[in-house]
Structure formats: C-alpha cells, structure tokens
Amino acid sequence: MKRWLPVVLFAALIFVGSSIPGNKAHIPFNLWDKAVHATEYAVFGFLLARAFGLRRWWWAIVAGALYGVSDEFHQTFTPYRSGNDLGDMTADLVGSIIGATAWMLLRRRRADGTKSA
C-alpha cells in the first residue's frame, strides 16, 4: 500500500487540476500545454512503475495512458476545457513512457550494483 499512496495522491492532483475551468480562448495546439502534460505524466509514470515493481513496470505505461484518456474525457465536463484532445493524450502517453522507462532503468542499474551517472 505504501508504494500506491503516491500514485493515488498524484492521480487526485491531476483530477483536481483538470477540474479547474479553462479560459474562453481555445488554442488548437499549444506546445507549452503539451510539455506540461508530458512532464506531469512522466512523474505519474515514474510513480506507477515504482508501484507496479520491476517485473511489471511496463503496466505503468498502460495505466498512465488510460488515465490520460479518462482525464481528457473528464475535461469534456469542465467549463472552457475542450477534452478529448488527441495531442494531450499523446503527450500523456509519451510522458508515461518516459517516466516508467526512467524508473525501470534506474531500478535495474541499482539492482545490478552499478552506480548511477
């Protein structure tokens, strides 16, 4: 349970952030927004991989991507949020891949007894 608590708290943070109404001006593709999504989900992917463990770390990518899709759906009910944005979902997936892979590489390096760079 102690490995899953940070995951649950971070998922709640994402949910609360997605519940904040957006602004009236919708920008179709905003690079800053995609970078924020990727960074947010890199942290989430890292925490998920830590919770799943070394043998099932890759499930973090699946779980992160699915949570990203559900987050986009949730935003369709939030005022001035577009939701179902394929660019955001892609950034969430990429972030989940980066975070989960980073955790796995760090963990394997540690398990091999080698020092990190």
User: pLDDT digit string (tens) for 19-57?
Assistant: 998 876 556 668 888 999 999 999 999 999 999 999 999
Looking at per-residue pLDDT, the higher value among 85 and 43 belongs to 43
In which band, very low, low, confident or very high, does the pLDDT at 117 lie, cut at 50, 70 and 90? Answer: very low
Give the HSE-up count for residue 19: Cα atoms under 13 Å, Cβ half-sphere. 6
Q: Which residues contact 75 (CB under 8 A, 6 or more apart)?
A: 18, 81, 82, 83, 84, 85
pLDDT at 33: 86
How high is the mean pLDDT of the chain?
A: 90
What tokens does 70 get? 């559900």
Cα separation, 62 vs 89, whole angstroms: 12
Q: How many CB atoms lie within 10 A of CB 110?
A: 12
Digit-coded pLDDT (tens) for 69-82: 999 999 999 998 88
Q: What CA–CA distance (Å, rounded) separates 59 from 35?
A: 23
